Amino acid sequence: MATRGDGEGGARSDVPTPAAGGEPLQLIAHNEGTWTIGEKALEVLKRIKAPIAVVAVCGRARTGKSYILNKLLGAAGAAGFEVASSYRPCTKGLWMWSQPLRRTALDGSNYYLVLLDTEGIDAYNQVVAGVRVRVGLRSLGPVHRTDQPRRILHTLSGSLPVRSLTLMQTTQDGVSLFSLAVLLSSLFVFNQMGGIDEAALDRLALVTELTRRIRVHGSPVAGSGGGAAEAPAAAEVEKTEKKKGKGKGSEASPNGGAGTGAGGSGGGAAGSALLEEVSALSEFTPSFMWLLRDFYYDLEGEHGVKQSPRDYLETALMPTAGSGPAVEAKNMIRESIKSLFKERECVTLVRPVSDEEALRNLDKLPEEELRPEFVEGVSKLTAAIFARAQPKRLGTQLLSGPLLAGLAQAYVKAINTGAVPTIHTAWHSVAEGECRAACYAAEDAYRAAFDPNTPADEQLLEKEHQRALAAATTAFQERAVGDPGLQRRWQQRFVAACSLAFEAVRERRLAVAAEALERQLGELAGQLHTEARLGGQDFSRLAASVEAGVAGVVAATVGAARWPRLLAFTHQQYGGLGAEMWERAAAKAEAERQRAALEARAQVAEAQRQVAMLQADLADAKRRADEATAAAAAATAAAAAAKANGSAVRTNGGGGGAGRRAAAYVDSDDEHDPKSRGCFGFGC
């Protein structure tokens, strides 16, 4: 298993799923001086929420870049990227495959691999008129164009009349394309025919231009002519051409300074500043793989020791001895490559077939017709690419599809406005947009998480608010990127928005609950007053009704806010109903008292009447008794007198018989006369 640097940290090198159903989509196009983003490709990227790795294959046109990408796709024939069979290029701009490859890292995490096919850095797309073209770092003659002159750094093996050059891509567009591929990829494959020689290094002179086309921060490199006020590169070429022959070292150095030779002013300082900027850029550049096609050299070092392709690359990047602007420029390219691409590798492939006709239709040939060494080399190459193609990072931030899409838009916008793409500026713009989207996603997550059926209780509502806020924070953190200060600012915004929404919900819910409570208490109060009026003076029964009614309200309502209201209601009912019952009881007692008083007075009157009657009867009885007593006394006196008279008769002898008869009569009358027995006429 290959590792990072030596294959460490690579993904599993299983065979990719064939690219059936996919299609190439243009990610970035260039038309009439304007760069545009392909909407379909952008939508594909935005759907990739997982970390994303990007392999960009760059190089000269018609050197088999698309063939390698199709091998990575596992595609055959016309199933993948279009492969050119003629000298005319097939690819314009940057193209990506519509179906990213799902990959699994060694730690078990999943990510997606996106493949980018780039337009050849020397593709024909613009007519250039003139006698000679300035090629590489050598001046081949004056440049005349119908539009504003631009500096052309592409190196050919020699000078070509412009009449034989049709549709030559300008340097500015080539550097922009090269820059975009570097900025967006996590593995940059530079595809080249043959070995690494001076001409090959000249082709990578674009690397030194990266510091003019890409910056980490907004400040320009000293002597590089960058920034918002950067003069067009063609103006520097024109200025250099005017100075031609005026002094040694008058050629423009790759870093855009006035030169690095004795005749150049500030060349050394500009070169130092260039390397500093390259070193800063290296923190954001992808891994670099130099793919050498149709390679036929024997890899032998000093003393005949066999070299690895990696050793061959490092040897080729060693500075050459000598002095002068040309040597310094070449060594600057070497140093820039080493400084810019800290992680680099070299892979070689032999020529697949000998027949030229078959070579033009390489993508249609079965493996049996290809050289076994080539087939084996392609297999090792794809395994190495899969192992090294790690998820794209910007500093410590893993990039997802939406983040990569945002960066692509920011870089293209900067190029179209004539500015230099600044990594930190672009990243801040993307991070700002992602944090804004994360803020909106957090608000949506809050609304989805908050239970609208939460009881209207202060504590329960607050608890639900905190739970929904935690879900919103999780949703925000899953998407938000950028520095802590930026994230904190947007987090405060969504927390404030959620809290404001919660306050409105809380107040509305509590108001509705309070209204419902008052309605239920009003109904209960009416019931209790009715019962109090109909139920008499049974206070214990009324108290039981109050307790039962309040318990029913408690069961039908929630919230701590109800308790003070229920307590006040209970006190009010007990006090009001108690007072009402007391008043009714007092009135009843007064009525009873008055009734009893009346009854007592009647009884007294009756008693008095009875007493009066008794007194009358007694008086009458006394009278009669007195009369009887008087009569009896009279009778007694009469009897005594009679007796005395009888005794006198007996004594006298003449009246004895008559006296006894009178006494017998008196005794006989006493037996039948009630008064004689002391009853006084009361019926004894």
The number of CA neighbours under 13 Å toward the Cβ of 210 is: 30
Q: Contact, 287 vs 187, CB < 8 A?
A: yes
Q: Where are the beta strands (DSSP E) in 344-385?
A: 344-348
Banded model confidence at residue 383, pLDDT cuts 50, 70, 90 = very high
Least confident of 71-75, 200-204, 495-499, 567-571: 567-571
Reply yes or no on whether the pLDDT at 160 is more than 60.
no
For the whole prediction, is pTM greater than 0.75? no
Q: What is the pLDDT of residue 519?
A: 80
Q: What is the pLDDT of residue 219?
A: 52
Q: Which two tokens stand for residue 360?
A: 């033009």
Greatest Cα pair distance in the chain: 224
Name the residue among 434, 379, 343, 400 with its Cα closest to residue 110.
400
Banded model confidence at residue 170, pLDDT cuts 50, 70, 90 = low
Q: How far apart are CA 90 and CA 64, in angstroms?
A: 11
Q: How far apart are CA 250 and CA 236, in angstroms?
A: 12
Mean pLDDT, residues 106-129 taken together: 72
Q: What three-state secondary structure class fits 31? A: strand
Reply yes or no on whether the pLDDT at 144 is more than 90.
no
Q: How far apart are CA 661 and CA 650, in angstroms?
A: 13
Q: Contact, 663 vs 642, CB < 8 A?
A: yes
Reply yes or no on whether the pLDDT at 84 is more than 60.
no
Q: How far apart are CA 506 and CA 501, in angstroms?
A: 9
What tens digit of pLDDT does each residue of 514-536 get? 887 778 777 777 777 777 666 55
Reply yes or no on whether the pLDDT at 654 is more than 70.
no
Contacts of 46 (CB under 8 A, 6+ apart): 401, 402, 405
Reply yes or no on whether the pLDDT at 201 is more than 80.
yes
Q: Which two tokens stand for residue 595?
A: 């009734």
More confident residue, 613 or 548: 613
Q: Contact, 465 vs 502, CB < 8 A?
A: yes
Banded model confidence at residue 396, pLDDT cuts 50, 70, 90 = confident
Sign, Cα dihedral of 446, 447, 453, 456: positive
Q: Which residue has the tokens 């907004």?
A: 218
What tens digit of pLDDT does each residue of 426-471 get? 888 889 999 999 999 999 999 999 998 888 888 899 999 999 999 9
Highest mean pLDDT: which of 19-23, 74-78, 157-161, 405-409?
405-409
Reply yes or no on whether the pLDDT at 61 is more than 70.
yes
Mean pLDDT, residues 67-93 taken together: 64
Least confident of 301-315, 410-424, 653-667: 653-667
Sign, Cα dihedral of 300, 302, 305, 307: negative
Q: What is the pLDDT of residue 189?
A: 94
Reply yes or no on whether the pLDDT at 148 is more than 70.
no
Least confident of 347-351, 476-480, 630-634: 630-634
Q: What is the pLDDT of residue 303?
A: 67
Q: What is the pLDDT of residue 533?
A: 66
Banded model confidence at residue 562, pLDDT cuts 50, 70, 90 = low
Q: Contact, 426 vs 448, CB < 8 A?
A: no
Least confident of 145-149, 300-304, 339-343, 449-453: 145-149
Q: What is the pLDDT of residue 648?
A: 66
Highest mean pLDDT: which of 117-126, 226-235, 468-477, 588-597?
468-477
Q: Contact, 124 vs 88, CB < 8 A?
A: yes
Mean pLDDT, residues 539-554 taken together: 72
Percent of the chain with pLDDT over 70: 66
Banded model confidence at residue 13, pLDDT cuts 50, 70, 90 = very low
Mean pLDDT, residues 348-370 taken together: 82
Contacts of 97 (CB under 8 A, 6+ apart): 19, 22, 23, 24, 25, 69, 73, 80, 81, 114, 115
Reply yes or no on whether the pLDDT at 373 is more than 70.
yes
Q: How far apart are CA 52 and CA 57, in angstroms?
A: 16
Percent of the chain with pLDDT over 90: 25
Banded model confidence at residue 269, pLDDT cuts 50, 70, 90 = low
Q: What is the pLDDT of residue 139?
A: 33
What tens digit of pLDDT does each residue of 99-111 get? 999 999 888 889 9
Mean pLDDT, residues 369-388 taken together: 91
Phi/psi of residue 522, nearest 5 degrees: -65, -45
Q: How far apart are CA 653 and CA 434, in angstroms?
A: 172
Q: What is the pLDDT of residue 266?
A: 44
Least confident of 80-94, 195-209, 325-339, 485-499: 80-94
Q: What is the pLDDT of residue 600?
A: 84
Mean pLDDT, residues 279-301 taken together: 84
Q: Contact, 134 vs 140, CB < 8 A?
A: yes
Could you tell me if residue 303 is left (phi over 0), alpha (psi between -120 and 50 degrees) or otherwise beta? left
More confident residue, 421 or 11: 421
Q: What is the torsion angle, in degrees rounded to the nearest 10, for the CA atoms of residue 396, residue 401, residue 407 and residue 413? A: 180
Q: What three-state secondary structure class fits 454? A: coil
Q: What is the pLDDT of residue 623?
A: 83
Q: What is the pLDDT of residue 313?
A: 92
Least confident of 225-239, 417-431, 468-482: 225-239
Q: Contact, 194 vs 225, CB < 8 A?
A: no
Phi/psi of residue 287, nearest 5 degrees: -65, 150
Q: What is the pLDDT of residue 130?
A: 34
Q: Contact, 152 vs 108, CB < 8 A?
A: no
Reply yes or no on whether the pLDDT at 227 is more than 60.
no
Contacts of 100 (CB under 8 A, 6+ apart): 44, 48, 52, 112, 113, 114, 401
Q: How far apart are CA 158 and CA 199, in angstroms?
A: 10
Reply yes or no on whether the pLDDT at 239 is more than 50.
no
Beta-carbon count within 10 A of 311 CB = 14
More confident residue, 63 or 425: 425
Q: What is the mean pLDDT of the chain?
A: 73
Least confident of 83-97, 234-248, 665-679: 234-248
Q: Which two tokens stand for residue 271?
A: 């070169």
Reply yes or no on whether the pLDDT at 277 is more than 90.
no
Q: Could you give the residue ranges of the DSSP H alpha helices within 141-266? A: 171-184, 198-203, 206-213, 233-243
More confident residue, 512 or 185: 185
Instruction: Give the distance from CA 323 to its chain's centroid.
Output: 60
Q: What is the pLDDT of residue 368?
A: 85
Reply yes or no on whether the pLDDT at 72 is more than 80.
yes
In order of 4, 35, 68, 115, 606, the CA distances from 100 in angstroms are 22, 23, 16, 7, 121
Banded model confidence at residue 349, pLDDT cuts 50, 70, 90 = very high
